[in-house]
């Protein structure tokens, strides 16, 4: 699923030893502790960056991540069309997340209902 630069993404995660955490609550499911406190990020194929569904610049995202760091809560990341080469903005987002030192969950689903492991495999979250 993750190809080209996506492999680099996996290597960054392995190298930094980041934790894959959390899951999104589905209707009727029990609440997942901390799920509502994760900073949810999304990057579009054209490089638009969304934090909590709000369009932000890379500079604004840097401030948002710095503020979120004080909580110690995870960052959840979803990139639209993950089978395609990532936009350079997506790589900048990855670098900012890694720099934060916070736990990161990569997802291939827009609802964050899966977690992509360090081998690029999507695993549905069971809860």
Here the tokens at position 60 are 């604004």
Q: What is the pLDDT of residue 22?
A: 37
pLDDT, one tens digit per residue, over 79-115 is 999 889 999 999 999 999 999 999 999 999 998 888 8
Q: For the chain, which residues make up each domain, given as ranges?
A: 1-19+36-104
Verdict on whether the full-model pTM lies above 0.75: no
Bin 116: left if φ > 0, else alpha if -120 < ψ < 50, else beta.
beta
pLDDT along the chain (127 residues), means of 10: 50 38 42 68 97 97 96 95 94 97 94 89 81
Which residue, chain included where needed, has tokens 């990057």? 43
CA–CA separation, 42 and 93 (whole Å): 9
CA–CA separation, 97 and 50 (whole Å): 14
Query: Rg of the chain over CA atoms, in angstroms?
Result: 13
Bridge partners of 40?
76
Q: In this structure, are residues 127 and 23 in contact, taking their beta carbons and an 8 Å threshold?
A: yes
């Amino acid at each position: 699923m993750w190809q080209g630069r996506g492999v680099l993404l996996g290597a960054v995660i392995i190298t930094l030893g980041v934790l894959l955490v959390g899951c999104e609550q589905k209707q009727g499911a029990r609440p997942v502790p901390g799920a509502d406190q994760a900073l949810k990020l999304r990057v579009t194929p054209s490089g638009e960056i969304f934090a909590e569904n709000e369009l932000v610049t890379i500079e604004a995202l840097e401030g948002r991540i710095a503020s979120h760091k004080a909580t110690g809560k995870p960052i959840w990341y979803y990139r639209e069309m993950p089978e395609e080469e990532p936009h350079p903005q997506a790589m900048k987002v990855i670098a900012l997340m890694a720099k934060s030192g916070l736990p990161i969950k990569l997802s291939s689903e827009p609802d964050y209902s899966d977690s992509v492991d360090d081998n690029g495999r999507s695993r549905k979250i069971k809860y």
